[in-house]
Amino acid sequence: MGNQPLLAVKELKKDIGKKNILSDINFSLNQGEVLSIFGPNGAGKTTLLKLLSTVTDLTTGELKIAGESVVENTIHLRKDIGVISHHTFLYGDLTAYENLKFYGEMYGVNNLKDRIFDVIDEVGLNFCLHDLVRTFSRGMKQRLSIARAILHFPEILLLDEPYTGLDQHAIEMLNRVINGLNTTQRTIVMITHNFQQGLNLSDRFLILVNGRVRFEGVSNDFNLLELQEKYKELLGE
Amino acid sequence: MTFFKQIKALVWKDLKSEFRTKEMLSSMLIFAFLVIVIFSFAFDPTDETLKEVFPGIIWVAFIFAGILGLNRSFVAEKQNNSIHGLMLCPADRSAIYFGKVITNLVLMLIMEAISLPIFIILFDYSFSGSILKLILVILLGTFGFVAIGTFLAALTANTRTSEVLLPIILFPVIVPLVIGAVESTGAIFIGEEMSEILPWLKVLGIYDLIFITVPFMLFDFVLEV
Amino acid sequence: METFDKDNRYSNILGWLAFLVTSVALYMVFEYAPTERVMGHIQRLFYFHVAAAWIAFFAFFVVFVGSIIYLKKRSTFWDNIALASAEIGVAFTTIVLITGPIWARPIWNAWWTWDPRLTTTLILWFIYIAYIILRASADESEKKARFAAIFGIVGFVDVPIVFMSIRWWRTIHPQVIEGGGMNLAPTMVQTLLVSIAAFTFIYFYLLLRRVKVEVLKNQVKEMKEELRKLQYN
């Protein structure tokens, strides 16, 4: 791969119908970097994440993962992406094991059984591997959802408001997992309303307003108050 | 190969949860019975003329019960937004469609296999035709219904009035299928020659072919976000 | 504003043309065409019945084409064309379904005969009513257009199979009533052609108007959104 960025976004534009949702989005992410994206509701954060996760097509521009164009290699490149969202994507009438088995088969994971035991260990859900997901608490579902997202060894993790509806304990758990993942050099893009978490966990951040990147910063250069001030300044004009 | 493995995984996932809860299957079965019982109150079951409309009654029961199942088939996908999870998978979108078609087909065939003998007993119908031909007709008819029904159910699942909407958009489209299925079932029941049944089998065959192809081509558009 | 005036001028010209040709058609239907020997005056309904049916099928063909182009290009214009054409098609199909029984009653002694053509028209009517209901129950305008386009294609593909299956179905259940074989005098054919021309003009006039209404609707919606944004800030 050389010094090619793992994720490269160039002049990305997305229209839905006549409406422009995103325009002129540029950024790139090297392996192991964590990027947070902040922005008010309707700024286009979710659409941007949908574009990155290839479930929706871009209108114009370029989106490359490991140097390969997503437009041309959509299905193949999906194997490199894992998504953790406030929706868990899990099936309530299947057990934790069955959910992971299903997704593992969809992604064509090798040695699936061992891998399932590995990830379930990582998120600490061994004790309820064969319980129906329907009976899980919100935090347990979210943990299983993390296991689901990392099951197929994705290069890039996309996090869409992962903290929504989590209690303090589950938030710590999630952070441990993300941090833990980070040591294994996983690249992460995260959108969140939670400034504190977003700032602590990331190397860099973007502020998205009205479908455009209005600010780019290095996370270490900002503390929470400075970030909030900057955010207010961008919105309040 | 991956394509078929993925379809297999999708079907396994759906059938596993269905056989665990039996939600769809039990409602479909009970509903099919109810339709038949209502029909026998509406028309005198001892009347000879009822024999003539019996094939029609069977298919009405199958189709009404089928609509119930189709309406449910995308509910599980919306609960935790797992349809989105499916779209993230490195699979062609049509795999999702074919997976659902196979699941719905299996469930409907189970419902039909259980209810048809009971219908025949309830109406004391003396069956004189070939069972094999009957199975062929039921397979062709059910497949066509499920092929277009699953597709339109995926469409209506994303609308406000999904449960009400599905029959309204599905029924006019399946008219040829209903005609073909009822006519050929009737012909088989009275032991007609193959040459009498063949035109209807052709109608069913053509219908099945068209309405598995068109959804296959258009399914990507249904799942856009 | 300028384009609006220009659009208006075109549809005005079309409107006057439609009026003119329809007047000629009316004259021909009632004065020029001879009275049919067996059926009498009621046969004059034929000119409107057939012309309406022709336009109805044409309208649904336009829905089909508009739907395909919409899915390819995603332009609101083609979605508007499909929507407008579906609504006009339903209106003309309704005319067919009303004039059919009125014509059939004195001739065949039955309001409805499950004649393949008439029955197919009825199913067609259901399909496009479903199309309009489907549009109404999707939330966002993009989804509305996309779903409608998908159904517009499925519905149109279904029509020939419907017709074929109903025709076979009728041959199996023979009825005393035979489909209307008529020997048309040349003047009758001329009258029919002028009627079809008149309905075609009416169709395009309505299409233009309906699309315009939709365009204006969207403009109003956009303005409202702008206004809301301004007030919100």
ipTM of the complex: 0.90
- Kindly tell me if the per-residue pLDDT of A231 is higher than 90: no
Element (H, E) at A236: none
- Provide the residue count of chain B: 225
Give the β-pairing of A204-209 and A68-69.
unpaired
Nearest CA in chain B to C119: B175
DSSP-assigned letters across all residues of A88-144: ----TTSBHHHHHHHHHHHHT-TTHHHHHHHHHHHTT-GGGTTSBGGG--HHHHHHH
Contact C76 A16 (CB under 8 A): no
Angstroms from A94 CA to nearest CA on chain B:
6
Q: Which residue from C94, C138, C165 is spatially nearest to B174, judged by alpha carbons?
A: C165
Overall number of domains in chain C? 1
Per-residue pLDDT reduced to its tens digit, C122-136: 999 999 999 999 999
Interchain CB contact of C190 with A (< 8 Å)? no
Q: How far apart are CA B69 and CA B23, in angstroms?
A: 9
Q: What is the mean pLDDT of chain A?
A: 85
Residue C202 lies in a domain: yes
Interchain contact C149–B (C-beta under 8 A): yes
User: Element (H or E) spanning A54, and its range?
Assistant: none
User: Best of A14, A19, A59, A60 to disrupt the C interface by mutation (most C CBs within 10 Å)?
Assistant: A19
Residue B122 Cα distances to B48, B128, B162, C46, C165, angstroms: 14, 16, 34, 49, 31
Residue C1 has a pLDDT of 43
Q: Which chains touch C (3 or more CB pairs under 8 A)?
A: A, B
Residue C189 Cα distances to C50, C55, C178, C199, angstroms: 11, 17, 22, 15
In chain B, which residue's Cα lies nearest the Cα of A52? B88
Q: Which residue of B has its CA nearest to C162?
A: B176
Q: Are strands A187-191 and A34-38 parallel, antiparallel or unpaired?
A: parallel
| CA dist list (Å): A23 to A136, A173, A188, A189, A216 | 40, 35, 22, 18, 16
Q: Which residue of B has its CA nearest to C123?
A: B172
Q: What is the DSSP letter of A166?
A: -
Q: What is the pLDDT of residue C113?
A: 79
Residues of B with CB under 8 A from a CB of C: 148, 151-152, 155-156, 158-162, 165, 168-169, 171-173, 175-176, 179-180, 183, 199-200, 203, 206-207, 210-211, 214-215, 218, 221-222, 224
- pLDDT > 70: percent of chain A: 95
Nearest to B90 among A78, A89, A92 (CB): A78
Residue A217 or residue C146, greater confidence: C146
CB spacing of B158 vs C162 below 8 angstroms: no
Smallest CA–CA distance from C172 into chain B, residue: B183
Whether the CB-CB separation of B149 and B70 falls below 8 Å is answered with yes
SS3 of chain A: helix, strand, coil, percent, to 5:
40, 25, 35
Neighbors of chain B with 3 or more C-beta pairs under 8 Å: A, C
- Identity of the residue numbered C161: I
Please state the rounded mean pLDDT for residues A164-186.
70
Owning domain of residue A208: 32-54+74-235
Residues from chain A that touch B81, judged by Cβ atoms under 8 A, are: 85, 87-89
- DSSP letter for A162, please: T
Min distance C87 CA to chain B CA atoms (Å): 16
Counted domains in chain A: 1
Q: How far apart are CA C52 and CA C45, in angstroms?
A: 11
Structural domain contains residue C2 = no
Report yes or no on C103 lying in a domain: yes
**Residues of chain B with C-beta less than 8 angstroms from the C-beta of A157:** none
Which residues of A have a CB under 8 Å from any CB of B? 50, 53-56, 75-76, 78-79, 81, 83, 85, 87-94, 98, 102-103, 105-108, 132, 141, 148
Confidence of residue A121 (pLDDT cuts 50, 70, 90): confident
Tell whether A8 is covered by a domain. no
Say if residue A15's pLDDT is above 60: yes
> Which 159-198 residues of chain C touch chain B by CB within 8 A?
161-162, 164-166, 168-169, 172
**Interface contact A106-B16, CB threshold 8 A:** no
Question: Which residue of B22, B89, B220 to mutate against A (max A Cβ within 10 Å)?
Answer: B89
Ranking A103-117, A119-133, B105-119 by mean pLDDT, the lowest is: A119-133
Q: Assign residue A164 the CATH number of its domain.
A: 3.40.50.300
- Read off the pLDDT of residues C44-90 as tens digits, 9 standing for 90 and up: 888 888 899 999 999 999 999 999 999 998 888 999 999 999 999 99
Q: To the nearest whole angstrom, how far is the Cα of C179 from the nearest Cα of chain B?
A: 20
Tell me whether residue C4 is in a domain.
no
Q: How far apart are CA C22 and CA C56, in angstroms?
A: 17
- pLDDT at position A181: 59
The residue type at B17: S
Q: Decide: B176 and C164 in contact? Cβ < 8 Å.
A: yes
Residue C74 in tokens: 């995603």
- The gap between the terminal CA atoms of chain A, to the nearest Å, is 42
pLDDT in tens, A20-44: 888 888 888 888 888 999 888 878 8
Helix (H) or strand (E) holding A222, with range, is: none
Is residue C2 pLDDT above 60, yes or no? Answer: no
* DSSP classification of residue B10: H
**φ, ψ dihedrals at B128, nearest 5°:** -125, 5
Which residue in chain A has the smallest CA separation from C144? A17
- Which ranges of chain B have pLDDT less than 50? none
Cβ atoms of residues A65 and A80 within 8 Å: yes
What number is the average pLDDT over the span C13-27? 89
Statement: residue A1 has pLDDT above 60: no
Q: Which chain C residue is nearest to residue B159, measuring alpha carbons?
A: C138
**Alpha carbon C80 to chain centroid distance?**
15
Closest to C93 measured CA to CA, from C135, C155, C27 = C155
Contacts with A136 (C-beta within 8 Å, 6 or more apart), sequence order: A96, A128, A144
* pLDDT beyond 50 at C32: yes
- The pLDDT of residue B52 is 80
A101 has a pLDDT exceeding 90: yes
Buried b (16+ CB within 10 A) or exposed e, B109-132: bebbeebbeebeeebebeeebeee
Q: Scanning the structure block, which residue is given the tokens 């052709």?
A: B202
pLDDT at A67 over 90: no
Residue A2: pLDDT band (50, 70, 90) is: low
- For A206, the enclosing helix (H) or strand (E) is strand A204-209
Count CB neighbours of A87 within 10 A: 20
Q: Which residue in chain C has the smallest CA separation from A18?
A: C76
Q: Could you give the CA distance from residue B122 to residue C149 in angstroms, rounded to a whole number?
A: 44
Helix (H) or strand (E) holding A211: none
pLDDT digits (tens, 9 = 90+) for C168-224: 887 765 554 444 555 677 888 888 899 999 999 999 999 999 999 999 998 998 899
Contact A94, A104 (CB under 8 A): no
Q: Is the backbone of residue B186 left (phi > 0), alpha (psi -120 to 50) or beta?
A: alpha
Coil, strand or helix: which one is A29?
Answer: strand
pLDDT reported for residue C132 = 95
Q: Would A184 be classed as within a structural domain?
A: yes
Q: Is residue A207 included in any domain, yes or no? A: yes
Residue pair B216/C202 in contact (Cβ under 8 Å)? The answer is: no
By mean pLDDT, which of A192-201, C7-16, C180-189 is the weakest?
Answer: C180-189
Instruction: Pick the residue from chain C with its C-alpha nearest to B152.
Output: C151
Backbone angles phi, psi at B58, to 5 degrees: -55, -50
Contacts of B183 in chain C (CB under 8 A): 169, 172
C154 contacts in chain B (CB < 8 Å)? 148, 151-152, 173, 211, 214-215, 218
Confidence check: pLDDT of A159 > 80? yes
The full DSSP string for chain C is: -HHHHHHHHHHHHHHHHHHHHHHHHHHIIIIISPPBTTTBGGGGHHHHHHHHHHHHHHHHHHHHHHHHHHHHH--HHHHHHHHHHHHHHHHHHHHHHHHHHHHHHHHHS-S----HHHHHHHHHHHHHHHHHHHHHH-SSHHHHHHHHHHHHHHHHHHHHHHHHHHHHHHHHS--SPPP------HHHHHHHHHHHHHHHHHHHHHHHHHHHHHHHHHHHHHHHHHHHHHHH-
**Interchain pair C145, A16: CB under 8 A:** no
Let me know if residue A189 belongs to a domain.
yes
| Selection from A224, A188, A230, A186 nearest residue A207 by Cα | A230
Looking at the predicted structure, is the pLDDT value of residue A68 above 90?
no
- Look at residue A11 and give its three-state secondary structure: strand
Pick from C67, C120, C156, C158 the residue to mutate for testing the B interface (most B CBs within 10 Å): C158
Whether B13 and A108 lie within 8 Å, measured CB to CB = no
Q: Which domain holds residue C31?
A: 9-177+184-232
